[in-house]
Amino acid sequence: MSSKIVRKEKQTTSLYDFLINFAYAFVKVLRIDFMLTFKRVTSDHQDFVELIRLLDQDLYSRYKKGQAEYDKYNKIEFIDTVIVAYHENQAMACGCFKKYNDTTIEIKRMFVKPEMRGRGIAKRILLELESWGIQQGFSKSILETGTGQPEAINLYEKLGYKRIPNYDQYAGMPESVCMEKNIHLRPANIAT
């Protein structure tokens, strides 16, 4: 009889711990959410350029020498659809898109500084980029990420992206993961 009581106490304690941890994480996300600002800029904006430098370092740490093959596809010049996220006036995250064809945008250069990850910032940037694409008349979004970025793949799948055969320059590149999503009108508030 006493072993059943102990098990219930352990279950209660672990449920309690779970709820406390969940509440703490939720408050942490809300706290950062209220302190974020998003700016639409161009690809020559100094903060975007610096975040891309950090992104490239991150990619080289994940893919080593193999990343050099992708560098030529990651050039972002003359892009006027760039978003930079700021926390306490410090650039913390970015993303952009470029026109792929008359109906499709290609999401590029998504990055969140390591100390800001896990707070929903990438989701908000991606949703804002999609909304911006919709405003410009596009109905589909595509992107390429890599097998060494499981957190990115997970985010994209949660937001409705589906894997597709690797397109264009990514065809035949085994570390590439290409995805697409039909984008639709949604409320302008991206705080979801």
What is the mean pLDDT, run by run of 10 residues, along the chain of 192 residues?
Answer: 47 60 55 75 96 87 68 76 95 96 96 93 95 95 93 95 94 92 66 42
> What's the rounded Cα separation, in Å, for the pair 156 and 151?
9
Same-domain pairing of 25 and 42? no
Same-domain pairing of 72 and 150? yes
> What's the rounded Cα separation, in Å, for the pair 35 and 120?
13
pTM comes to 0.76
190 is a domain residue: no
What pLDDT, on the 0 to 100 scale, is given for residue 190? 45
- Alpha-carbon distance values, 73 to 77, 110, 156, 166, 168 (Å): 11, 14, 20, 14, 11
What pLDDT, on the 0 to 100 scale, is given for residue 76? 75
- Alpha-carbon distance values, 80 to 30, 85, 189 (Å): 30, 16, 22
Q: What is the pLDDT of residues 147-157, one digit of tens each?
A: 889 999 999 99
What pLDDT, on the 0 to 100 scale, is given for residue 139? 95
Same-domain pairing of 55 and 28? no
Q: What is the pLDDT of residues 74-117, one digit of tens each?
A: 677 789 999 999 999 999 999 999 999 999 999 999 999 999 99
Same-domain pairing of 44 and 5? no
Domain span at residue 111? 35-182
